[in-house]
Structure 1
Amino acid sequence: MKFKAFLTENGVTLLEKRFLPALEKMGKICHLYLTRDHAMFLHNLLNGDGIQSIAQFRKEALFDDYRISSQNEDRIAFTIDVTLLQRAVRSSVSICSELGGSGVTANRLQIKLVKKLPPNCTQPMPFLTFETKGYKSAVIQDIPISKPLSRAQVLELQGALDMAQDLPQTLVQVPDLNQLQNFVDRLKQVGDVLSVSISKYGDLHIQVSTTMITLGAEFRKLLVIGEKADAPSQDQNLSAQTRSSRSVARGDAQTVQVSVKHFAKSLQCHLTKPDCAFYGIAPLGACLTVIFQFFIPGSRQTDKSISLHCRLPVLDPGTG
């Protein structure tokens, strides 16, 4: 089982400045899953607790001279502490900057899997190692990782990943994540349970209710991807709650309840600097899905080398 690659300057920027700060908000520990073509950071795919987040990169987006081999179809997976990984990347960037030269990396920041014998231990332990090469010296940082997953465990992880790729039948685009985040920060002071309704008309309705207060917001006529429908004209002058209830009754909308904390945590993915975000509810209200989209710089074309989405567990079976 071998893995070795060089982080590119773009790869360092993606990880240090954007993705690792966001992924740390999702949870301290995640799976790093490496295949022949992709590197993936996966949160909570093998348990039912918390938000599932899936960040996937084509190898070219992060690495040069990418080499991987294993007896499991060249697939390697292990758990890693995102905080330690972020610290190692930042430290390596700092060291590279002090060493001078053009760019952060000039094929000088190597990352590889190794086994070493830690002090006071009798058994070798696995590490993900960063080696920052200067002109006359090298600095090595070892990040402890779990024992790589067995063949059966990798198959289980791949199966969970395949299931997590299923898209809701209707997705609506949220125009302003900062506006949504500011509103959700207020909702956190009101209650713990958030009702989310998404219609084929392009309406997103979010609401927190307690015995004392109800606070909600509605975003209407959003861009719809997938199944869509025209809103009935007779509903236009009704209240948001009434229109939402009617659309659910017609089968033109779904509503679920999720944790306000989970919803707020998923919005931390704005740290990855996505160009837009889409919300959708899985069939039968299985989960609330948030998909973040990235464009090729200077264009409106989707950057297919990067993908990120979250799946929020629901607090009830939902209505659909």
Structure 2
Amino acid sequence: MKSYYPIPFLARNSLPLLEKRFLPALDKLGKTCHVYLTRDHAAFLHNLLNGHGLHSVAQFRREALFDDYRISSQNDDRIAFAVDVSLLNRAVRSAATVCCGSSSDGSNNRLQIKLVKKLPPNCTQPMPFLTFETRGYKSAVIHDVPISKPLSKTQVLELQSALETAQDLPQTLVQAPDLVQLQNFVDRMKYLGDSLNVFISKYGDLHVEVSATLISLGAEFRKLMVIGEKADAPAEDQNLSAQSRSSRSILRGDGQSVQVSVKHFAKSLQCHLAKPDCAFYGIAPQGSCLTVIFQFFIPGTHQTDKSISLHCRLPVLDPGSS
């Protein structure tokens, strides 16, 4: 076994955050993701290196996940690799069982992560693994998770560039209604068609609709909280239909509409498994994508926990239609 990057100790109180919340949510978004580690952050990234499918970014400051954080590499202390999310969650779940079951307070437990090369059975070439080494009061468990070869310097720079691009926020964000309620509604919608029309305005309107040959099914939410550019809804529009209000808002430049995959929209709603405190929807300039930002509060407060972030970008089916 060869360890070719030292990776730090995972904090015991971060295990429920990963096992019970984020990894189950990320598993619903896609089978594999990139794990990206830097001096200050750890991130789980879906589809940032290709233009297909739903993009997601879950990012944590190092203190939110790790104790005794030390990392080094020849790529400016940046390490990235692809991993099967379900296998990663299984390893974290196993580690959580050992840590929580070995002693009453967990004070003797340490969980170290190592990036290693091992020779698997019936293989002639060593393969890379992410190894979880958990030492409890009376037991120790080593769990190997197969990963891709760590990304090259060029690939890491490309991933970093894509991550920076993904941080750009729409000019207007509206707070979503209850995510579980919205998911139940979309579950009924998906039998009508494959595409979903999403309209967002500076007035705090969110309108989603699926249309089929003989029927349309939609839901409209009004006077939602707005972050960023906002405007007052014209009084003369109040008694108009949702479609008429949407059209007039777009003509004024106060609203945007995009068409996305029902499947992608439903997948993004699975992020409720990460237990965010609220979510916001926004449409990027020129209608290039639909963005969903999930917000987490410091427990017991309504202050944003800036050590944790999660957002998704849904590709549009007809760019520029807004």
Tell me what 1:138 maps to.
140
Structure-to-structure mapping, 1:222-237, within 5 angstroms: 222-237=224-239
Rounded to whole Å, the distance in 1 between the matches of 2:273 and 2:147 is: 25
Aligned: 1:216 with 2:226: no
Tell me what 2:125 maps to.
123
Pair 298,136 (structure 1): closer, same or farther in 2 beyond 3 Å: closer
Rounded to whole Å, the distance in 2 between the matches of 1:122 and 1:290 is: 45
Rounded to whole Å, the distance in 2 between the matches of 1:276 and 1:173 is: 7
Q: Which moved more, 1:192-201 or 1:179-188?
A: 179-188
Aligned: 1:179 with 2:181: yes
Aligned: 1:317 with 2:315: no
Residue 69 of structure 2: SS of its match in structure 1?
strand
> Any conservation in 1 of the 2:102–2:139 contact (CA below 8 Å)?
no
Rounded to whole Å, the distance in 2 between the matches of 1:138 and 1:97 is: 13
- The C-alpha deviation readout for 1:31-83, integer Å capped at 9, x for no partner, is 00000010000000011111100000001001101111011110000000100
Q: Letter of the aligned partner of 2:94 in structure 1?
A: S
Normalised by the length of structure 1, the TM-score is: 0.97
Q: How far 1:123 sits from its partner (Å)?
A: 2.2
Q: Letter of the aligned partner of 2:147 in structure 1?
A: I
User: Of 96, 105, 130, which aligns to 2:99?
Assistant: 96
- The C-alpha deviation readout for 1:92-115, integer Å capped at 9, x for no partner, is 222233323314x74421111111
- The C-alpha deviation readout for 1:251-282, integer Å capped at 9, x for no partner, is 11110000111101100000000000000000
Structure-to-structure mapping, 1:169-318, within 5 angstroms: 169-318=171-320
Residue 45 of structure 1: SS of its match in structure 2?
coil
User: Of 38, 63, 66, which aligns to 1:63?
Assistant: 66
> Any conservation in 2 of the 1:127–1:143 contact (CA below 8 Å)?
yes
Extract unaligned runs of 5+ from structure 1: none
Tell me what 1:162 maps to.
164
Rounded to whole Å, the distance in 2 between the matches of 1:6 and 1:20 is: 18
> Any conservation in 2 of the 1:96–1:134 contact (CA below 8 Å)?
yes
Tell me what 2:83 maps to.
80
Aligned length: 319
Tell me what 1:50 maps to.
53
Tell me what 1:14 maps to.
17
Rounded to whole Å, the distance in 1 between the matches of 2:283 and 2:295 is: 17
Tell me what 1:34 maps to.
37
The percent of aligned pairs where both chains have the same amino acid is: 77
- The C-alpha deviation readout for 1:174-221, integer Å capped at 9, x for no partner, is 131122111111111211110000001110011001111011111001
> Any conservation in 2 of the 1:8–1:107 contact (CA below 8 Å)?
no
Q: Letter of the aligned partner of 1:273 in structure 2?
A: K
Rounded to whole Å, the distance in 1 between the matches of 2:283 and 2:178 is: 19
Residue 66 of structure 1: SS of its match in structure 2?
coil
Rounded to whole Å, the distance in 1 between the matches of 2:235 and 2:100 is: 61
Q: How far 1:126 sits from its partner (Å)?
A: 1.1
Rounded to whole Å, the distance in 2 between the matches of 1:222 and 1:139 is: 49
> Any conservation in 2 of the 1:248–1:319 contact (CA below 8 Å)?
no
Q: Which moved more, 1:10-19 or 1:109-118?
A: 109-118
Rounded to whole Å, the distance in 1 between the matches of 2:137 and 2:219 is: 57
> Any conservation in 1 of the 2:109–2:137 contact (CA below 8 Å)?
no
Q: How far 1:287 sits from its partner (Å)?
A: 0.2
Rounded to whole Å, the distance in 2 between the matches of 1:106 and 1:296 is: 27
> Any conservation in 2 of the 1:7–1:107 contact (CA below 8 Å)?
no
Rounded to whole Å, the distance in 2 between the matches of 1:193 and 1:136 is: 54
> Any conservation in 2 of the 1:255–1:318 contact (CA below 8 Å)?
no
Pair 95,79 (structure 1): closer, same or farther in 2 beyond 3 Å: same
Q: How far 1:122 sits from its partner (Å)?
A: 2.4
Q: How far 1:135 sits from its partner (Å)?
A: 3.4
Q: How far 1:136 sits from its partner (Å)?
A: 4.7
Tell me what 1:108 maps to.
110
Rounded to whole Å, the distance in 2 between the matches of 1:110 and 1:51 is: 31
Q: How far 1:317 sits from its partner (Å)?
A: 1.5
Rounded to whole Å, the distance in 2 between the matches of 1:53 and 1:183 is: 22
> Any conservation in 2 of the 1:254–1:318 contact (CA below 8 Å)?
no
Extract unaligned runs of 5+ from structure 2: none
